[in-house]
Amino acid sequence: MAGTCQDEVLCSWLAGWFDNAIWGQVAASGATIILILFLGFVLRKVAHRVITKVVNRAAMGGSLTSRFRKGVTVGGVDALLNERRRQRAETMGSVLKSVASIVILGTAVLTVLDRLTIPIAPLLTSVGILGVAVGFGAQELVKDFIAGMFMLLEDQYGVGDVIDVGPAVGTVEAVTLRITRLRDVDGRVWYVRNGTITRVGNESQGWSRAYMDVPVPYDADLVSVRAVLENVAEEIWADTEFRESKIVEAPQVFGVEQLSDSSLVFRISAKTVPAAQAEVSRELRLRVKTALDDAGIAMAALV
């Protein structure tokens, strides 16, 4: 019996301690299993701490302030981008922690089973067959998760963005690895599976553009019309309420944009912070209409 322990230092030492080779082998196996499980949990804890540290650094490190003009920070943009970055980092951190736990603890369990002389080949084969079966049955779910991971990694959109995903257009209220929740202008909530999104139109990333087409009759004084529109552009740019929080560049008058059989169409355009184009467009319409009325210039029908 003592010969069974000659190949293992720990077993031989414990056999001498217990003065029995069988008990020494049992104790050695138990100690090895405990050591394997202990190392597995320690490695899992270390991996989670490293992932948490990386996630926190990714979420908090570095300012994401968007400076659209030299020396001017657009209010609210920095907070929004940092929040998006935090959510993206935390979601990916959760995925990485789950993967680390499965790999480390799964390896530890298989090692323990092998130590107990339990054949793991049939188990691995069964798990492989089960994985294939689950993969076929839950392929849509897997597709959603993979699409959600790439969406988060590429930062295609985030909470607060106004996006067009085909079946629905609205403001993003929540993003997970499986679904994206939108609320449209009517207040309707849409739940869109990430795997079904084939294209995304993001109206809130970087900057947006507000514009207004101004139709005037053919007999209008084009020089006067252009001068009126340029005055409107200068006034709204000089308005601190819009310049500091809504508009990021001086509005431009593009001149005659279109010709029709009954009117000439001027276009005035303004670069805005993300998702502020609707508010700026409404303000432009109001100011342009008031300025044209004051100048005695009539507007034509927009064809």
Q: Indicate which CATH number applies to the domain containing 250.
A: 3.30.70.100
Of 66, 91, 118, at which residue does a domain stop? 118
Mean pLDDT value of segment 115-133: 75
Looking at the structure, tell me whether residues 8 and 105 fall in a common domain: yes
Q: How do beta strands 208-216 and 264-272 pair?
A: antiparallel
| Domain range for 218 | 208-295
Residue 130 inside a domain? The answer is: no
Question: pLDDT at position 268, please?
Answer: 92
Give the pLDDT band of residue 6 (cuts 50, 70, 90). very low
pLDDT tens-digit series, residues 146-180: 888 888 777 788 777 889 998 889 988 888 888 89
Q: Do 193 and 144 touch, CB atoms closer than 8 A?
A: yes
Looking at the structure, tell me whether residues 174 and 274 fall in a common domain: no
Number of domains into which the chain is organized: 3
Give the pLDDT band of residue 72 (cuts 50, 70, 90). very low
Looking at the structure, tell me whether residues 92 and 74 fall in a common domain: yes
Mean pLDDT value of segment 59-79: 46
Question: pLDDT at position 160, please?
Answer: 79
Question: pLDDT at position 291, please?
Answer: 93
Give the pLDDT band of residue 190 (cuts 50, 70, 90). very high
Q: Do 267 and 229 touch, CB atoms closer than 8 A?
A: no
Looking at the structure, tell me whether residues 277 and 231 fall in a common domain: yes
Give the pLDDT band of residue 12 (cuts 50, 70, 90). low
Give the pLDDT band of residue 11 (cuts 50, 70, 90). low
Q: Which candidate, 109, 104, 124, places its Cα nearest to that of 132?
A: 124
Residue 148 inside a domain? The answer is: no
Looking at the structure, tell me whether residues 180 and 276 fall in a common domain: no
pLDDT, the chain, mean: 78
| Rounded Cα gap, residues 243 and 237, in angstroms | 6
Stretch among 3-17, 21-35, 146-160 having the lowest mean pLDDT: 3-17
Percentage of the chain beyond pLDDT 70 is: 78
Residue 221 inside a domain? The answer is: yes
Mean pLDDT value of segment 2-27: 51
Indicate whether 54 pLDDT > 70: yes
Indicate whether 120 pLDDT > 80: no
Looking at the structure, tell me whether residues 47 and 65 fall in a common domain: yes
Residue 51 inside a domain? The answer is: yes
Looking at the structure, tell me whether residues 10 and 60 fall in a common domain: yes
Looking at the structure, tell me whether residues 186 and 227 fall in a common domain: no
Residue 267 inside a domain? The answer is: yes
Indicate whether 286 pLDDT > 90: yes
Question: 77-115 and 139-154 helices cross at what angle (nearest 10)?
Answer: 130
Residue 181 inside a domain? The answer is: yes
Residue 240 inside a domain? The answer is: yes
Of 64, 94, 118, at which residue does a domain stop? 118
Looking at the structure, tell me whether residues 188 and 250 fall in a common domain: no
Looking at the structure, tell me whether residues 22 and 89 fall in a common domain: yes
Of 118, 146, 178, at which residue does a domain stop? 118
Can you say how many angstroms the Cα of residue 14 is from the centroid of all Cα atoms in its chain?
Answer: 56
Give the pLDDT band of residue 132 (cuts 50, 70, 90). confident
Looking at the structure, tell me whether residues 6 and 106 fall in a common domain: yes
Question: pLDDT at position 229, please?
Answer: 93
Looking at the structure, tell me whether residues 7 and 79 fall in a common domain: yes
Give the pLDDT band of residue 208 (cuts 50, 70, 90). confident
Is the pLDDT higher at 300 or at 18?
Answer: 300
Residue 190 inside a domain? The answer is: yes
State how far the alpha carbon of 150 is from the alpha carbons of 57, 130, 142, 199, in Å: 20, 26, 12, 13
